[in-house]
Amino acid sequence: MKRVPGRTDHVVVVGAGLSGLACALHLLGAGRRVTVVERDAGPGGRAGRVRLGGYELDTGPTVLTMPHLADEAFAAVGDSLHRRVELTALDPAYRACFADGSSLDVHTDGDAMEAEVRRFAGPVQAAGYRDLRLWLERLYRVQMRRFIDTNFDSPLQLLHPDLARLAALGGFGRLDGRIGRFLSDERLRRVFSFQALYAGVAPARALAAYAVIAYMDTVAGVWFPKGGMHALPRAMADAAADAGAELRWDAEVSTLERSAGRVRAVRLSSGERIPCDAVVLTCELPAAYGLLGRSPRRPARLRHSPSAVILHAGTDRTWPHLAHHTVSFGAAWERTFDELTRTGELMSDPSLLITRPTTHDPALAPPGRHLHYVLAPCPNTAVGPGATTWRELGPRYRDRLVGELERRGLDGFADSVREELLVTPLDWARQGHAAGSPFSVSHTFAQTGPFRPRNLVRGLDNVVLAGCGTTPGVGVPTVLISGKLAAARVTGAVGPGLGRRHFTAVPGTSSLPAPAGADDPS
């Protein structure tokens, strides 16, 4: 593995999102002096926090999977996630609601889910689910250590027996077709393939290898941190500070001072100069490339994932059929993905993620109130309406979403809203997200693994990238890995294998075993 040559005693990490904080903790554990500079007033990045009329809003991800990856970062400095954050295992992980009026609770316990599938679709589908679960576990074991939790220096690293194992598992076929080999019920197929949208690819065109995301959601488990998702970066920042990191808030980087192929100092917009031996950039790729004064050489332009409209609604009531996470599927499926990724139209029959964090933490809202987070995927600004178009389109689409929610059983939703915040691609673009998408570079084959923007920078020996735009990719688990991989580029150390540490939650909450098969030596 290539690493930063020369001295790396003092490292400046630009950005205090999940990847930057994970990187900082791994660097501190390896004995480096670390300064974290963040343009915002506190940690979090995408996983930020907005206070609105007594409501505490998570501005980014709401689904936490694979928390042992965060625990790896805490463990690097002799700390642990369970000391810092109280986690609750969600059961069900999701509730899936369909246009025909049926619903399915997604359990991560195999026996419970088999029984639920049998109730929902009969014994043949239940048997298919068991086979699918085994396949997902095998897919995870083959992929994670070799193709995700690794620093690539060359595509030739793919030439390993695990590549043949992945091919034998059908990983290079199409996701929708592979899931269909196990489940013929279209509703069930959606439950195990909608996660491809996180990777920015329609299930009908995504590689079956991306089913590893469904493994994270439906097998490894979904968790909720008390205090909301923002509790995780806040705890990571506290652990980093306690381990000796210097955390600088409201500190925006203006330039990188370079000479002889290395960055010698980071300059802030305030004029302050911070000398350093190495730099890790975790900001958005366009911002990172702007600071570097270059863009990567690629045969084709980067393609970005679809975007999302998010409605944060503080309400005076809730609806009992909602779980903590509810996926409300429209009747349309393939047409929906065509609209999101090809034609650039707003979903004519949307599938929505509705999250109600006050299910497990009422303190996130005023007494007697509730908080609902409604995510509606939409085309990014390179495919669909431009960023400025959303200035007028946003309020109209908000009303359309509210009407759709009421048609799907959330009667009186419009009248129940006491506080709200609407986030559209215009807002994502203002935050510096390319193509107005918070999901960054999509995971097409040409933008995955060794073909994704690398975390080393050509022509600058001591600069490393981290975050969802570089390897390994988008999502909370992968950006945590990204921070660890970036730290390894600096220190030369290879951290413990993914999933090797067994996690124990706070007494009184559910325990977190390592993912199924994590200790399998194959």
Report the chain's mean pLDDT, rounded to a whole number: 91
Kindly tell me if the per-residue pLDDT of 231 is higher than 70: yes
Tokens matching residue 169: 């598992």
Kindly tell me if the per-residue pLDDT of 215 is higher than 60: yes
**Mean pLDDT, range 175-199, rounded to an integer:** 92
Tokens matching residue 504: 């124990």
Q: What is the pLDDT of residue 312?
A: 98
- Confidence band (pLDDT; 50, 70, 90) for 509? very low
Kindly tell me if the per-residue pLDDT of 499 is higher than 80: no
**Mean pLDDT, range 211-218, rounded to an integer:** 92
Kindly tell me if the per-residue pLDDT of 510 is higher than 70: no
CB atoms within 10 A of CB 83: 10
**Mean pLDDT, range 270-284, rounded to an integer:** 97
- Confidence band (pLDDT; 50, 70, 90) for 201? confident
**Mean pLDDT, range 488-515, rounded to an integer:** 51
CA distance 208 to 177: 8
Q: Which parts of 361-442 fold into alpha helices (H)? A: 390-407, 413-416, 425-430
Q: What is the pLDDT of residue 202?
A: 85
Distance from CA of residue 338 to its chain's centroid? Answer: 23
Tokens matching residue 357: 């964090």
- Confidence band (pLDDT; 50, 70, 90) for 3? very high
Contacts of 85 (CB under 8 A, 6+ apart): 225, 226, 227, 231, 232, 235
Query: Which residue from 424, 374, 428 is spatially nearest to 404, judged by alpha carbons?
Result: 374
Kindly tell me if the per-residue pLDDT of 157 is higher than 80: no
**Mean pLDDT, range 191-202, rounded to an integer:** 84
Sheet architecture: strand order including 10-14: 246-248, 33-37, 10-14, 278-281, 463-465
pLDDT digit string, tens, across residues 66-84: 999 999 999 999 999 999 9
CA distance 437 to 308: 7
Label each residue of 451-497 as H, E or C. HCCCCECCCCCCEEECCCCCCCCCCHHHHHHHHHHHHHHHHCCCCCC
pLDDT digit string, tens, across residues 401-446: 999 999 999 999 999 999 999 999 999 999 999 999 999 998 887 7
CA distance 295 to 297: 7
Tokens matching residue 371: 């908080």
Beta strand pairing call for 222-225 and 87-89:
antiparallel
Q: What is the pLDDT of residue 444?
A: 81
Please give the full DSSP string across 397-418, using - where no structure is assigned: HHHHHHHHHHHTT-TTHHHHEE
Q: What is the pLDDT of residue 501?
A: 36
pLDDT digit string, tens, across residues 294-316: 776 665 688 899 999 999 999 99
Helix and strand counts by DSSP (H, E) for the chain = 16, 20
Query: Which residue from 178, 247, 186 is spatially nearest to 215, judged by alpha carbons?
Result: 178
Kindly tell me if the per-residue pLDDT of 512 is higher than 80: no
Please give the full DSSP string across 211-278, using - where no structure is assigned: HHHHHIIIII-EEEETT-TTHHHHHHHHHHHHTT-EEESS--EEEEEEETTEEEEEEETTS-EEE-SE
Q: What is the pLDDT of residue 233?
A: 98
8 Å CB contact between 66 and 325? no
Kindly tell me if the per-residue pLDDT of 482 is higher than 60: yes
CA distance 461 to 463: 6
CA distance 437 to 429: 7
Query: Which residue from 196, 200, 161, 160 is spatially nearest to 176, judged by alpha carbons?
Result: 196
- Confidence band (pLDDT; 50, 70, 90) for 259? very high
Kindly tell me if the per-residue pLDDT of 165 is higher than 80: yes
Kindly tell me if the per-residue pLDDT of 495 is higher than 60: no
CA distance 198 to 377: 10
Kindly tell me if the per-residue pLDDT of 103 is higher than 50: yes
pLDDT digit string, tens, across residues 35-53: 999 999 999 999 999 999 9
Query: Which residue from 401, 404, 382 is spatially nearest to 393, judged by alpha carbons?
Result: 401
CA distance 59 to 45: 9
The proportion of the chain whose per-residue pLDDT surpasses 90, expressed as a percent, equals 77
pLDDT digit string, tens, across residues 107-143: 999 999 999 999 999 999 999 999 999 999 999 999 8
